[in-house]
Chains A and B, each alone.
Chain A
Amino acid sequence: MWSVIVEHLEEIVAVLLFGIGFTTLLLHRNLIKKIIGFNIMDTAIYLFLTSAGYIEGRTAPILKDGVKSAAAYVNPIPSGLVLTGIVVSVSVTALMLALTIRLYRRYRTLDFDRITLMMKGEDD
């Protein structure tokens, strides 16, 4: 049991973080905290992917000191995927923040439940 936890520590942490992130995204009333939740959720996925791509004792695949054996290096694709994913989540965060500013200017609050209530009172 204990050895399983130690061996899969990154995966377990990733699953926990994902849960924390998406419950915050869906259930928290504060818009900024929703965005933070989204970022935690995405980070959990990146941790999951990074830990799969990491092999202890190997380095990034950049030729160094003339070592040409493939066994000395890790597969660069998981890291590449994580980098792409980070770019995506940065742009999504920017858009969410812009949307939050719009909503704040209109309703003067960051509480999504109150915004929804105020919206229902509006006449289209």
Chain B
Amino acid sequence: MAFVQNVPFFSIMLCMVCAISSAMLGRRAARAATLALSAVLCLINLWLLVFLKQSDMSYTYSMGHFPAPWGNELRAGPLEALLAVCFSVVVFMSLLGGLHKLSEQVDDRKQNLFCVMLDLVLAAMMAMLYTNDLFTAYVFIEIMTLAACALIMARQNGRALVSAMRYMMMSLLGSGLTLIAINLTYQLTGHLLMENIHESFVALKAAGRYETPITVITGLFFVGLGIKSALFPFHTWLPDSYGYSTPAASAVLSSVVSKAYIILLIKIFYRVIGLDIVVSSRALNLTFAFGVIAMIMGSLNAIASHDLRRMVAFSSVAQIGYIYAALGLGTLAGFVAAIYHLMMHAVNKSALFIASSGLADASGDSKRFSDLRGAGFRYPVAGACFCFGALSLVGVPILGGFVSKLYISEAAIGHGGIKMWVMLGALALSTLLNALYFMKTVITLYRPPRGDFSPPPLRRGRARGLALWGFMLLSALVGLMAQPIINALAQGLRLFS
């Protein structure tokens, strides 16, 4: 076994050690530790990705050397390594871009605790990506929920507190349903490791036994994790918690926290239950329907909001709809398109949150559109970064959003039937609505300001400038390198089951 194969274990343990030690560090040291942690995670996972891609393999890693049905296992393949790289870069840049606002909005003595929570989010994300054990996944779902709640309430204003409470209520229902699903899975199969569960499910399916419970399990996993990742009718906690928490928190929440649950759901559908069984249980039709509704409703809500960050938050609802709708096609091409969209959205949405906090700063800390006029001239880098993210999400060619929409429509055409028409129609309508609100915002940013409006001078901050440039580079990279990324995803999914 090559040394590089220890990376999944090191990733999780490093996050944990960093989280525990950050609790004792001062605020500067804790911030530096978290930045260093995410940079290190990115590099070591990149190393693993190169190794796995070259050797074209995936492997399981038994923790403590206990053999399969008893011990706890990790599993790594190109897909997991690629996503780990992507998410750790996003966390690095979000924290870098949010540092400035963090020291303004969060109490000095509590900033190291904010970093602890970021470390825990990273740990939970790494564990959800790499674990091969369903119950370990549940424990880290809860760690993720608690850390995310603390990130929301780090900024002590009324709206952030209330939205943290709302987030907890919805999330707890979600984790309760997920726990019941894991319960039922264990009762039916007697296993917690994903491969063993899959084997039992295949055997049960072949024997034609327990068809209804398997459908129920699929549905419970979908609803539980769907609530936690803010799928449309369960999204009520989202706009306030993304809109009023500190920018670093909203960037991480929108890009990493909600995505990790979707990754876990993909893992459960694809590896634990098995795509054939999921498709035949027709639970994916539900996923598809919810996704399509979210695509339209999220965009409509974004058009109706008067506040920049709430608009960006509602656009997340629509984008999560895209991911679920693409998953709902139930084909390999649909899954690849969904995962690419997920990565693209993680990068661009965190860029939009950091850029919009910069633009709001340039307008006297106001997020209202009337005050934002001309903000693009007052803070050119943030304006450019916002345009980049917005154009990418709308789907302008070369950028990531275009590629993902192309692949989603290709997957829909490959699927055929009624789903194809619904998907293509929803995609067209939703793109139109996206263009409507994003272009309106971009035009507002570059309109001359009202005559009597003179915002206080802006403190740009070198770190934020760096993060904004970094986000632009990353967004361009995701678009330009689409083909290698898609190839890696397809390879990863092939090795996944």
Contact = CB atoms under 8 A, between A and B. Distances in A.
A92 B183 contact: no
Given A95-B146, A99-B153, A99-B164, A124 B159 contact: yes
Given A99-B168, A122-B157, A124-B159, 16 more contacts: A26-B173, A45-B176, A45-B179, A48-B183, A77-B192, A78-B186, A88-B139, A92-B168, A95-B146, A95-B168, A96-B165, A99-B153, A103-B162, A103-B165, A106-B158, A119-B162
B187 interface: yes
A31 B162 CA distance: 11
Interface in A5-55: 18, 22, 25-26, 31, 34, 38, 41-42, 45, 48-49, 52
Contact of A41 (B150, B159, B176, B187): B176
B153 A107 contact: no
B146 A92 contact: yes
A118 interface: yes
A106 B161 contact: yes
Contacts of A41: 172-173, 176
Contacts of A102: 153, 156, 161
Contacts of B428: none
A3 interface: no
A92 B162 contact: no
A69 interface: no
Contacts of A78: 186
Contacts of B187: 52
B179 A85 contact: yes
B244 interface: yes
Contacts of B150: 95
A107 B165 contact: no
Interface in A85-114: 85, 88, 91-92, 95-96, 99-100, 102-103, 106-107, 112
B164 A91 contact: no
Contact of B158 (A34, A48, A100, A118): A118
Interface of A: 18, 22, 25-26, 31, 34, 38, 41-42, 45, 48-49, 52, 77-78, 81, 84-85, 88, 91-92, 95-96, 99-100, 102-103, 106-107, 112, 115-116, 118-119, 122, 124
B139 A45 contact: no
Contact of B169 (A34, A49, A107): A34
B162 A115 contact: yes
B250 to A, nearest CB: 14
A45 B156 CA distance: 34
A97 B149 CA distance: 13
Nearest to B179: A45
B169 A48 contact: no
Contacts of A96: 165, 168
Contacts of A99: 149, 153, 161, 164-165, 168
7 contacts: A26-B173, A42-B176, A45-B183, A84-B139, A99-B168, A103-B162, A118-B158
A33 B469 CA distance: 48
B164 to A, nearest CB: 6
A25 B169 contact: yes
B180 interface: yes
Nearest to B146: A95
Contacts of B159: 119, 122, 124
Interface in B169-223: 169, 172-173, 176, 179-180, 183, 186-187, 192
B369 interface: no
A25 B172 contact: yes
A81 B135 contact: yes
| Top 6 A-B residue pairs of the complex, sorted by shortest distance between their CB atoms | A119-B158, A88-B142, A119-B162, A52-B187, A49-B183, A122-B158
B146 A112 contact: no
B165 A31 contact: yes
B133 to A, nearest CB: 11
Nearest to B173: A22
A107 B146 CA distance: 23
Interface in B295-340: none
Of the candidates A52, A91, A96, A122, the one having the most CB atoms from chain B within 10 angstroms of its own CB is A96
B176 A18 contact: yes
A104 to B, nearest CB: 10
Contacts of A31: 165
Nearest to A103: B161
Contact of A38 (B145, B146, B172, B180): B172
A34 B168 CA distance: 11
Contacts of A112: 165
Nearest to A85: B179
